[in-house]
Amino acid sequence: MNAHLVSAYQQCFAEPQRSQRRLYEMAKRDQWNSDALPWDRLDFSSLPPPLREALSGLCAHVHYGEVASLLAAARAVEQADDSESRLFASTQVIDEARHVEWFTRLQQKLAPPEPPTVHETVTALVDSVYASSDPDELCLGMQLIVEGLAQTLFQEAARALRGIDRTLCEASPGSQDAPTGPASAAGLLADWLSNYIARDESRHVAFGVVQLGQRLRRLPSSRIDALQAKVVVWGQLLQAIPAAFEPRFATLGIDTLRLAGDCIGDLNLHLRQAGLEVQLAPPTAPYVTSAAAASSPGSTT
């Protein structure tokens, strides 16, 4: 008999992990179908080209992260410590699959003239996290850092899209009542990001906090120190991302420095909740400027 399968089978009858069970029940309750959304109302044809291009470029980078999260989530099912964690991780696989599908359809709606290039600051972080063979590192990097970045970015993007929606409505009186058009498309997309995508991400981050927190209690101090050192390495890669997209964020009405600060602040909170002591310093305006200048001149931003 396979020892790993026997252990997984026996775990089905163990005392349930209450936090993971609660997240699993929430995941079952909050499942949604991308096909059920009114995609016919999402018409970006009259959205100003700079806004459309900036939105498409931003979505392309998130799309890349979602593909990595899908593949990493499948590994997390195998690496789960207990039955409830395994069940929740399986729901994250379908969540990530749905996100990949959703962003694929969104890009088709935005119809960029050329497929946007994924910036090296994004691939550097996502690829490094995905390459982790250690389950604890993968949980830390994917659930807290990558998923946490996505959660913060979706919340800020939804806020910016609602601002764009208001501006376009004011510029085109009567468009608020129209079933299609740039104003309603921006507002509808903001609602979808908040009500569906970001809600899924919040569960993923919460699972990472719980799972990593439980593992840390069993790890020797040397392994915890190694994980905290990894946070510093990945944190430096994370801090380079907002600055590299400053022109695109400005087009969408997103304050780059505030977004960078929110990303670091949210990550620090999640690290503390999981039980890690390492904290990243908040960015400052000179940092944002220098990081943007240091980005590769040949990269697409």
CA distances from 66 to 129, 145, 214, 275 (A): 13, 13, 25, 26
Q: What's the confidence (pLDDT) of residue 174?
A: 54
State which amino acid sits at residue 289: T
Helix (H) or strand (E) holding 8: helix 3-11
Distance CA 158, CA 164 (A): 10
Provide mean pLDDT across the span 94-104. 97
Q: What's the confidence (pLDDT) of residue 296?
A: 33
> What tens digit of pLDDT does each residue of 162-196 get?
998 888 877 765 544 444 455 588 899 999 999 99
3-state secondary structure of 117: coil
CA distances from 42 to 108, 223, 242, 249, 286 (A): 11, 48, 27, 21, 38
pLDDT reading at 231 higher than 90? yes
Q: Which two tokens stand for residue 82?
A: 């207990």
pLDDT reading at 202 higher than 60? yes
pLDDT reading at 221 higher than 50? yes
Provide mean pLDDT across the span 130-154. 96
Distance CA 215, CA 201 (A): 21
> What tens digit of pLDDT does each residue of 280-300 get?
998 876 544 433 333 333 333
Provide mean pLDDT across the span 138-149. 96
Asked which of 63-67, 170-174, 190-194, 227-231 is least confident by mean pLDDT, the reply is 170-174
Q: What's the confidence (pLDDT) of residue 14?
A: 77
Q: What's the confidence (pLDDT) of residue 263?
A: 94
pLDDT reading at 301 higher than 60? no
Sign of CA dihedral 62, 68, 70, 76: negative
Number of H helices, E strands in the chain: 13, 0
Distance CA 258, CA 281 (A): 14
Packing angle, helices 147-171 and 256-274, rounded to 10: 150
pLDDT reading at 133 higher than 60? yes
pLDDT reading at 124 higher than 60? yes
Provide mean pLDDT across the span 213-242. 95
From 230, 233, 238, select the one nearest 146 (Cα to Cα): 238
Query: Domains in the chain, ordered, with CATH?
Result: 18-217 (1.10.620.20)
Burial code (b: 16+ CB inside 10 Å, e: under 16) for 143-153 equals bbbbbbbbbbb
- Number of Cβ within a 10 Å radius of residue 236: 12
Q: What's the confidence (pLDDT) of residue 298?
A: 35
Distance CA 233, CA 240 (A): 12
Q: What percent of the chain has pLDDT over 70?
A: 90
